[in-house]
Amino acid sequence: MAAANLLALLDDIATMLDDIAVMSKMAAKKTAGVLGDDLALNANQVQGVKPDREIPVVMAVAKGSFLNKLILVPAALLISAFVPVLITVLLVIGGLYLCFEGAEKLLHKFFAPHDEHEDAEARLNKLADDSVDLVSMEKDKIKGAIRTDFILSAEIVVITLGSIQEADLFSQILILSGLSIAFTVGVYGLVAAIVKMDDFGLYLLRKSLTGSFNTAQRLGGRFMLTAAPALMKFLSVAGTIAMFLVGGGILTHSIGFLHHIAESVINLAPSVDWLMSIAFDGVAGVIAGAIIALAVQAWTKFTAK
């Protein structure tokens, strides 16, 4: 009898863990857009810091990110427990913010372009200027990155919680806590690897001058030096696209009339319904983001006058 009860208990635990794994995977997919933007944004934040201070700065921001999630996760669970209707409202606000941020990036890219070489040269001149307080500049970068992380972490937590609302409280705590830790370690681990990629490439090039495997090292070093800026550009573009898709997806699934329009559009081509769904989410995200971005710009000009 005791053995049967133990087996039943183990079976229940295995089923619960399997459900948690499935829900965690689903939640992780829905937060992919925010995570991509978080990765690209944090890698960009470290630019302008001395090479020997890049890892300490990344570690400082990672600690701030853990503290952010230590505040946000309990707050989100309390809202879900006592005012669950607010989760949908926060999801829509988060989706609109994602769309707005993506649209703002596009507007900045096409209507206020910057010369990347001039920007890089300005950063180098700033580092070489003895009158610049590098310690203060570093602290400002860390504070700014942690503030930005708070906004992105809030979106991640709300999106994750919105996708597991039907789970019990214990499962919600496990999934939110586990994903928060995994996302923070993963994002800032990748940030650290990306910002040191060019340094490692330079190390391989120097090593190739004396090493026995000089050809392979030289090729690897050149590849990393070339790939580092290309990877940054890719992350920026992919993050922006994902913001529209994720933000638009949140809006189409949370707002009734948009959901009905999406279903009608998808039914036009049922054989490629997944493609139509992605396209509709992207278009909805771009339109919503453009409306908000233009409204914000108009309001800013109006108040400036």
Q: Give me the pLDDT at residue 49, please.
A: 66
Q: Which two tokens stand for residue 249?
A: 């997806």
Residue 62 lies inside a defined structural domain of this protein: yes
Q: Give me the pLDDT at residue 155, please.
A: 77
Q: Give me the pLDDT at residue 263, please.
A: 87
In the chain, how many domains are there?
Answer: 1
pTM: 0.68
Residue 136 lies inside a defined structural domain of this protein: yes
Q: Which residues of the chain have pLDDT under 70?
A: 1-49, 112-135, 208-213, 305
Residue 220 lies inside a defined structural domain of this protein: no
Residue 24 lies inside a defined structural domain of this protein: no
Residue 297 lies inside a defined structural domain of this protein: yes
Residue 39 lies inside a defined structural domain of this protein: yes
The boundaries of the domain holding residue 49 are 31-197+229-304
Q: Give me the pLDDT at residue 286, please.
A: 92
Q: Give me the pLDDT at residue 7, please.
A: 45
The four Cα atoms 40, 42, 47, 53 give a dihedral, to 10 degrees, of -140
Residue 95 lies inside a defined structural domain of this protein: yes
Residue 207 lies inside a defined structural domain of this protein: no
Q: Give me the pLDDT at residue 156, please.
A: 81
